[in-house]
């Protein structure tokens, strides 16, 4: 930079015409703002990084509390068949998902313990015969077809492989809902970059594909052996 400045100064000394002087003044200003331009570039760059990594995820998701507090670990200790005690397969092989009130009533027709959450559950839902509007962390969009039976019954996978150790949790974390899609944050994963440490950190299509590739199973239609869009998508 100094070389350029020196050259410019020499030129000012050498030339005297007014017009040229004006031109040099302009040139001088440009030289002066050169650092700022870069500064602003960096400012913009950093600001957008902050927006993209910090502010955007906060804006994108709203937080909702589950209607009733629930302790998986406590229940797990009381039942015989682990997860399947409540999240069972129906006779026709379909998966029941989140339990309905009817199953809860099997034990909770009356208040069993001393927790406030249970008292609220019995008075608000059991006695009024209302289904609990649970917010499902792992609910996929309706265009996705997923068979629990194929994975659990046929492939012998454990619940924890996709859902993580939720069975050991003592409370339900807030449900984070994507404001654009209406879906749970757990599908994309907590990490906004989409990176994961564990298999259960994300539930996007790439994650399905990754596992199927790693294990070299059903990577296309069973019938045609070609790409099977409609195996998983409606």
Helical packing angle, 2-14 and 18-50, nearest 10° = 160
155 contributes a contact to another protein by CB under 8 A: no
Distance of closest approach, residue 147 Cβ to another protein, in angstroms: 13
The residue among 66 and 76 lying less far from another protein, judged by its C-beta, is: 66
37 contributes a contact to another protein by CB under 8 A: yes
Residues 80-139 that bind another protein (CB under 8 A): 90, 92, 94, 96-97
Q: How many residues does the chain have?
A: 234
Residue from 113, 129, 182, 216 touching another protein (CB under 8 A): that is: 182
**Helices and strands in the chain: count of H runs, count of E runs:** 11, 2
Residue from 6, 44, 62, 145 touching another protein (CB under 8 A): that is: 44
- CA 135 to CA 183: how far, in whole Å? 10
The residue among 38 and 119 lying less far from another protein, judged by its C-beta, is: 38
193 contributes a contact to another protein by CB under 8 A: yes
The residue among 97 and 227 lying less far from another protein, judged by its C-beta, is: 97
Q: Which residue has the tokens 């608000």?
A: 124
The residue among 73 and 179 lying less far from another protein, judged by its C-beta, is: 179
Q: Which positions ≥6 away from 114 have C-beta within 8 Å?
A: none
**1-30 mask for another protein (x: CB under 8 A)?**
------------------------------
CA distances from 115 to 41, 74, 102, 121, 153 (A): 56, 12, 21, 10, 35
Judged by phi (left if over 0) then psi (alpha if -120 to 50, else beta), residue 225 lies in: left
The residue among 4 and 51 lying less far from another protein, judged by its C-beta, is: 51
Q: Which positions ≥6 away from 104 have C-beta within 8 Å?
A: 121, 125, 126, 132
- Site residues for another protein per CB under 8 A: 33, 36-49, 51-53, 56, 60, 90, 92, 94, 96-97, 141-143, 178, 180-183, 188, 192-194
């Amino acid at each position: 930079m100094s070389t350029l400045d020196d050259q410019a100064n020499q030129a000012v000394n050498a030339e005297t015409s007014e017009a040229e002087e004006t031109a040099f003044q302009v040139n001088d200003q440009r030289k002066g703002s050169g650092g700022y331009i870069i500064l602003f570039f960096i400012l913009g760059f950093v600001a957008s990084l902050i927006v993209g990594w910090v502010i955007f995820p906060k804006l994108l998701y709203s937080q909702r509390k589950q209607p009733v507090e629930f302790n998986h670990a406590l229940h797990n200790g009381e039942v015989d068949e682990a997860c399947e005690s409540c999240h069972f397969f129906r006779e026709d092989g379909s998966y029941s998902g989140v339990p309905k009130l009817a199953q809860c009533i099997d034990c909770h027709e009356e208040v069993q313990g001393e927790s406030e959450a249970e008292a609220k559950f019995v008075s608000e839902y059991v006695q009024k015969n209302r289904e609990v509007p649970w917010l499902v962390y792992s609910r996929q969009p309706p265009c996705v077809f997923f068979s629990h039976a194929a994975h659990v019954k046929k492939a012998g996978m454990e619940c924890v492989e996709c859902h993580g150790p939720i069975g050991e949790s003592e409370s339900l974390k807030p449900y984070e809902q994507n404001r654009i899609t209406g879906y749970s944050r757990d599908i994309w994963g907590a990490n906004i970059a989409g990176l994961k440490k564990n298999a259960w950190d994300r539930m996007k299509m790439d994650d399905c594909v990754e596992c199927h590739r790693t294990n070299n199973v059903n990577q296309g239609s069973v019938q045609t052996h070609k790409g099977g869009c409609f195996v998983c998508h409606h």
